[in-house]
């Protein structure tokens, strides 16, 4: 009964710490998601760009194609 103000201070402090913790956690996950999304988009762009060319890593080179380059 004599420590009502102190109890409220602890409650508000705990709430602020919890919210900051979750905010940083969510921002970190969002940054990771954006990085993965950017890498995927770049990979798809490269796949479309190099598909069927001699730079296509999935294309198997034969002996005659190696001698031409």
Q: How far apart are CA 65 and CA 62, in angstroms?
A: 5
Tell me, what's the pLDDT at 38?
96
Burial readout 31-51 (b: 16 or more C-beta within 10 A, e: otherwise): eeeeeeeeeeeeeeeeeeeee
* Residues 11-54 pLDDT 10s: 999 999 999 999 999 999 999 999 999 999 998 888 877 777 77
Whether the CB-CB separation of 34 and 42 falls below 8 Å is answered with: no
Q: What is the mean pLDDT of residues 51-69?
A: 63
Residue 67 in this model has a pLDDT that exceeds 60: no
């Amino acid at each position: 009964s004599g420590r009502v103000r102190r109890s409220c201070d602890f409650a508000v402090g705990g709430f602020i710490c919890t919210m900051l913790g979750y905010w940083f956690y969510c921002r970190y996950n969002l940054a990771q998601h954006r990085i993965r999304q950017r890498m995927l988009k770049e990979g798809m762009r490269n796949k479309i760009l190099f598909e069927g060319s001699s730079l296509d890593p999935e294309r198997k080179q034969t002996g005659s194609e190696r001698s031409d380059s």
